[in-house]
Amino acid sequence: MNFSMVKRLILKDWYLQRWMILGSLPAGAVTLAIIAIPGKAVSFLGLLLLITILIAVGGQLAVATMVSERKEQTLSFVMSLPISYRDYTAAKILGNLLIFLVPWIALVLGSFALLMFPPGLHLGLIPYVAIMATEILTSTCLIFAAALISESQGWTVAAIIVGNLALNGFGYYVGHIQSIAKGMDGSSLQWTPAASFLLLAEFSTIALLLSLTFFVQSRKKSFL
Amino acid sequence: MNDLSVQFEGVSKKYAHFTLENINLELPTGSIMGFIGANGAGKSTTIRILMGLVHQDQGSVHVLGHAMPAEQAAAKLDIGFVSEDMRLYKSATIAWHMEFIRSIYPRWDQPYAESLLRRFDLKPQQKIKGLSHGQRVKAALLLALARRPRLLVLDEPTTGIDPVARHEVLGELMAVLADEERTILFSSHNTLDVEQISDQIAFIDRGRIIDIDDKEIFLDRWRRLRLVLPPDVTLPRFPGIVEVGGSDRLPVLTTNQFDPDMVSACQNTGATVQAVDCMTLEEIFVANVQSRREGQAV
């Protein structure tokens, strides 16, 4: 693999998407501030906005860097560069993941900070937030896989819908796992085997999704 | 040392509604090949296979000594590619694109790039989204030329641009031709553009290369003979007659194997040769395609 070219392609996508990513950070900070306002309804609204921002950033990244590459016919420009399709696939997967991790890490750390600092210590929520944040990352990887393999707006939107539904269903399911649910209202952190298992399952799903994407891409015989 | 920049041997690619069949093509280093075909004839598919962007089902492709598609990354380091459907990033400037390409190609020639900017009347700080189609083609050509490629592949670059921009693009390509080491493959359905810059011509139709030769030989061997034939006179069978038009009394013969002796042979039968017309590349292409499609031997 040509790592130097992969790096250049990642930097290119970062440059082209930088305003969207940088713009998501202050928007995320506002939602964190809303979450910090006392009152359950306001906090819930802030949480919804935070999740929406992360899903929107993932979807927009996939559309702008992969679907549009074909739709706007910049793919032939990129593929005329000294790269193979493996390099292109690696650059898209790694690049989008790294770029997405910028707002994701910032907002997840912000969320943890809200839970960890008084007043109103909510350390009991940390396992749930970690699992749900990783679920957002998993959904985003699903969107990236769909966008890269299909290069179609329709399939990418379908993946966004599936990812969003899965997030809601998964959130409900995790919230009703007894060992996780019972510690959620507490002010002390209770990390359970169930939480570890779910996190492991999520990271395994991410690895599987990205490996499958590489595999499918490597079998393609027409790239334009 | 292999003096072929491009070599296709028995290349085939099958799609649901189109098949590229048994393509054999050799492009010697330093030559300029015009690749002519109607829309959908297989020009772009052939070029995509050349660039490694589409994998052939059968046959082998070597570009600048590299097997394609396996070694496409190494080959593309020495290729400049511009196609009619290639777009640059709308939100970025020409200067950003130049810097991006410069960071990749070690032979990037900045003074030449700047001179092309002036000649093409492009402003480095212009964003691509503000450019006309002609300006976008010129920007793409600038990016391809200033990397000083050994092989320049141009897939219908002049399609859809206005006559002034086309003139500038072709003018720059003519200037590039001065470099005898650079090989160029220029595909178009506009025979006039191809005729201006090419020294070799290949015709492609319905997925097959139907004729390939030096341009001058093409132009020399194709002629249209306008005759006046007295009653009861029959012409002998000449080799290479691809079309007999006109009327019984005023036949027009199109041949791809013209020989001055044909004129005297016609006169010896009692026919009057009114004119021996040279044919343009477009006329040759159309006659060639039509005769092939009608199943006549050419």
Report the distance separating Cα A163 and Cα B267, nearest Å: 83
Sign of CA dihedral A88, B100, B164, B35: negative
Q: pLDDT tier at B298 (50, 70, 90 boundaries)?
A: very low
For residue A93, give the nearest of A131, A68, A61 by alpha carbon.
A61
Q: What is the pLDDT of residues B64-82, one digit of tens each?
A: 999 999 999 999 999 999 9
Contacts of B89 in chain A (CB under 8 A): 16, 74, 77
> How far is CA A92 from each of CA A42, A78, A85, A210, B144, rounded to the nearest angstrom?
37, 12, 10, 11, 24
What mean pLDDT is reported for chain B?
90
Asked if residue B238 and residue B136 are part of one domain, the reply reads no
Residue B231 lies in a domain: yes
> For chain A, which residues score pLDDT lower than 70?
118-121
Residue B93 lies in a domain: yes
What percent of chain B clears pLDDT 90, i.e. is strictly above it? Answer: 62
Residue B272 lies in a domain: yes
**Does B286 or B298 have the greater pLDDT score?**
B286
Name the closest residue on chain B to residue A72, using Cα atoms.
B87
Q: What is the pLDDT of residues B230-241, one digit of tens each?
A: 888 888 888 889
- Helices A126-150, A193-218: crossing angle, 10 deg rounding: 10
Give the pTM.
Answer: 0.87
Residue B292 lies in a domain: no
Residue B1 clears pLDDT 60, i.e. is over it: no
Residue B43 lies in a domain: yes
Please report the ipTM that was assigned to this predicted complex. 0.86
Contacts of B74 in chain A (CB under 8 A): 82
Task: Say whether B85 and A2 touch across the interface (CB within 8 A).
Answer: no
State the residue range of the domain holding B238.
223-278
| Amino acid identity at A166 | A
pLDDT of residue B180: 67
Q: What is the pLDDT of residues A122-150, one digit of tens each?
A: 788 889 999 999 999 999 999 999 999 99
Task: Say whether A222 and B83 touch across the interface (CB within 8 A).
Answer: no
E-only strand ranges, chain B:
4-14, 19-28, 32-37, 58-63, 66-68, 79-83, 151-155, 183-188, 200-205, 208-214, 223-228, 241-246, 251-255, 272-278
**And the tokens for A168?**
């809601």
Number of domains within chain B: 2
Asked if residue B98 and residue B233 are part of one domain, the reply reads no
Domain boundaries, chain A: 3-218
Which residue in this structure is represented by tokens 């709308």?
B90
What mean pLDDT is reported for chain A?
91
Asked if residue B171 and residue B74 are part of one domain, the reply reads yes
Substitution target from A17, A74, A80 for chain B, most B beta carbons within 10 A: A80
Task: Say whether B77 and A72 touch across the interface (CB within 8 A).
Answer: no
Asked if residue B187 and residue B102 are part of one domain, the reply reads yes
For residue B92, give the nearest of B100, B82, B84 by alpha carbon.
B100
Name the closest residue on chain A to residue B91, using Cα atoms.
A16
**Would you call B73 an interface residue with chain A, using a CB distance cutoff of 8 Å?**
yes
pLDDT of residue A116: 83
Asked if residue B114 and residue B11 are part of one domain, the reply reads yes
SS3 A39: coil
Q: What is the pLDDT of residues B12-53, one digit of tens each?
A: 999 988 999 999 999 999 899 999 998 889 999 999 999 999
Radius of gyration of chain B (CA): 22
SS3 A150: helix
CATH of the domain at B190: 3.40.50.300
Asked if residue B152 and residue B241 are part of one domain, the reply reads no
Task: Say whether B51 and A221 touch across the interface (CB within 8 A).
Answer: no
Task: Say whether A81 and B76 touch across the interface (CB within 8 A).
Answer: yes
Report the distance separating Cα B241 and Cα B266, nearest Å: 13
Residue B61 lies in a domain: yes
Residue B252 lies in a domain: yes
Asked if residue B100 and residue B150 are part of one domain, the reply reads yes
Substitution target from A21, A70, A218, A224 for chain B, most B beta carbons within 10 A: A224
Q: What is the pLDDT of residues A29-56, one digit of tens each?
A: 999 999 888 877 888 888 889 999 999 9
Residue B285 lies in a domain: no
pLDDT of residue B2: 53
Residue B294 clears pLDDT 90, i.e. is over it: no
Contacts of A12 in chain B (CB under 8 A): 100
For residue B287, give the nearest of B230, B241, B226, B227 by alpha carbon.
B241
Asked if residue B106 and residue B230 are part of one domain, the reply reads no
Contacts of A5 in chain B (CB under 8 A): 73, 104
Asked if residue B105 and residue B83 are part of one domain, the reply reads yes
Reading across the β-sheet that carries B223-228, which strands appear in turn? Answer: B241-246, B251-255, B223-228, B272-278
Q: What is the pLDDT of residues A151-160, one digit of tens each?
A: 999 999 999 9
pLDDT of residue B18: 93
Task: Say whether B54 and A72 touch across the interface (CB within 8 A).
Answer: no
Asked if residue B231 and residue B161 are part of one domain, the reply reads no
